[in-house]
Structure 1
């Protein structure tokens, strides 16, 4: 099958560039408010049966009106640090991956760093790959660890409820709010760490927030036209995701000197159950090797992969020597896969 990189810029990287880093801890934060499909039918022209059949989602979380993304980040970051046996003072960098940051300025990562008390940490924001932000942030953290850092906190958090039109069915049923965090540290057992990666992109406006930037600044008209809300062409997302994810996974696995059959765990973008099933079927891998959290959390953007990884870690399903990968696609389109061996 021809991959989308034929019309895009993929990162062609050496198979043997293994980075000895460890996922030392993880944590998540889920807002308290649960919104079921049945509740959505009260305001949207849809049904519970339609939502489940088209998405696999049964409920999702909503962030409280008096909270922001940084609050979710801090709430996910603290248990991740505890799990890693570190404190905020040990961190060399705090990377926040989110397209729904607190505000355009100042940096959401800086806000999180200050609230955690990570005085030495470099704050970095990864913002415009949407659901792929978290994977780009992990790759950035891995390279920081390779050069100078010893501990980096990566937090993926999205609050799509603040940027989806409450009157629009296509986006209104998909998204949930959540944050996931991992602590990455330098060093790993022999042969373990980040084995390989693959990233690609192809410019598309099929998923976009048109207004609020320099091209279409905020005005009375943009607010009236509702162009500050997320717009999404579901068919384009399906076609791109079901091509790009399997191809990216195969590429990353091949660069690691492995086969798809060698991978023990597949932590995939929690966007839509049908997309997950199609991707796994294309790979010839049974679904039980790909944990699902979207049924009760919805599409939580870049946090989705982190929620699946955290669930597997807390259930002690990832053992020493296990291989696993993280794979996601976001607006742009941008996609990527990271292949690890657990230390």
Structure 2
């Protein structure tokens, strides 16, 4: 069911927020268990050729049963903090973007902050934009850094979709992987760096949802038996929304930043589907190599996907000072957004 209620929001920040900031460290955690297409074909009515041609995915990761999303977050945070030269005790905020929290109550960000020893940090969870939660978390972090009492933020994007997908579903069962990514954001003296502009939008839709477990359909024996706690997804609706909204929001954000799109060096896009990435870069008219790909070996890792692509560029040394780049994602709801930033 889709309700045609669109609420676009576009905001221009000119040459950036008054307080510039920088990404000073990144990290990722990939669970060691690899699940290939060949393994999935043994239990699902599909084929390696179908999965690869429709999604571009060859393999994905699975988190061990005794671990949770917070464990992935902690593992991704440590290398990011080390790269940034930041001790956990110096953090002013820990933000976790995920739709697969450890439990409905209490806060996953609080669990992570405690495990790291970031005892003075504010803990925030950004959850219900699903795969777009990481983009929203980055926007929140950028604005928090305008507060003179906040200088250093740890942002984590992590999803453990294997816990909410039906292993017998040939659609959702092949798309998703488990992963976490981290970025450390700090104030900087580099004027003009940080957030230049953003473009957000939404359109109420139930085409991607987990129906049960909330106040409308509380957990019960009946909801568990019916599989209502699993992710339900209309693939065609996702394709239509993503291939339309991602290019629109990117163009809007870049235009409001006053940057020609051919001068954007990197496009860190939601790793939902390789064909969606190809359609988006084609619609933008930018070279395909400007959008790093991780979905082929990690699957759709939800909110982490944008940041696994960002980490790849940082690790390879291709994100350079002065580079203009875009973070863009779309998630259940539908909610989407793009941020245009400049690297310090």
The TM-score with structure 1 as length reference comes to 0.97
The 5-angstrom pairing of residues 251-266 of structure 1 reads 251-266=252-267
**Alignment of 1:114 onto 2:114:** yes
The 5-angstrom pairing of residues 177-256 of structure 1 reads 177-256=178-257
Q: Distance in 1 between matches of 2:13 and 2:164?
A: 39
Q: Distance in 1 between matches of 2:112 and 2:193?
A: 30
| SS of residue paired to 2:198 | strand
| SS of residue paired to 2:146 | helix
Pairwise CA distance, 1:17:
6.0
Pairwise CA distance, 1:10:
2.0
Given that 2:27 and 2:79 are in contact with CA atoms closer than 8 Å, whether structure 1 keeps it comes out as yes
| SS of residue paired to 1:18 | coil
| SS of residue paired to 2:105 | coil
Q: Distance in 2 between matches of 1:149 and 1:126?
A: 18
Q: Which residue of 2 aligns with 1:175?
A: 176
Q: Which residue of 2 aligns with 1:331?
A: 332
| SS of residue paired to 1:12 | strand
Q: Which residue of 1 aligns with 2:277?
A: 276
Given that 1:52 and 1:58 are in contact with CA atoms closer than 8 Å, whether structure 2 keeps it comes out as yes
Q: 2:10 aligns with which of 6, 9, 12?
A: 12
Moved more, 141-150 or 305-314: 141-150
Pairwise CA distance, 1:15:
3.8
Q: Which residue of 2 aligns with 1:314?
A: 315
Q: Which residue of 2 aligns with 1:3?
A: none
| SS of residue paired to 1:237 | helix
Q: Which residue of 1 aligns with 2:42?
A: 42
Task: Report runs of 4+ in structure 1 exceeding 4 Å deviation.
Answer: none
Q: Which residue of 2 aligns with 1:143?
A: 143
Q: Which residue of 2 aligns with 1:86?
A: 86
The TM-score with structure 2 as length reference comes to 0.97
Given that 1:22 and 1:188 are in contact with CA atoms closer than 8 Å, whether structure 2 keeps it comes out as no
| SS of residue paired to 1:340 | strand
| SS of residue paired to 1:96 | strand
| SS of residue paired to 2:262 | helix
Moved more, 140-149 or 115-124: 140-149
Q: CA RMSD in A?
A: 1.0
Q: Which residue of 2 aligns with 1:73?
A: 73
Q: Distance in 2 between matches of 1:298 and 1:42?
A: 18
Q: Which residue of 2 aligns with 1:125?
A: 125
Structure 1: state its 5+ residue gaps.
1-5
Pairwise CA distance, 1:188:
4.4
Given that 1:18 and 1:194 are in contact with CA atoms closer than 8 Å, whether structure 2 keeps it comes out as yes
Given that 1:15 and 1:257 are in contact with CA atoms closer than 8 Å, whether structure 2 keeps it comes out as no
Pairwise CA distance, 1:7:
4.9
Q: Distance in 2 between matches of 1:132 and 1:296?
A: 20
Q: Distance in 2 between matches of 1:188 and 1:283?
A: 32
| SS of residue paired to 1:40 | helix
Q: Distance in 1 between matches of 2:281 and 2:12?
A: 26
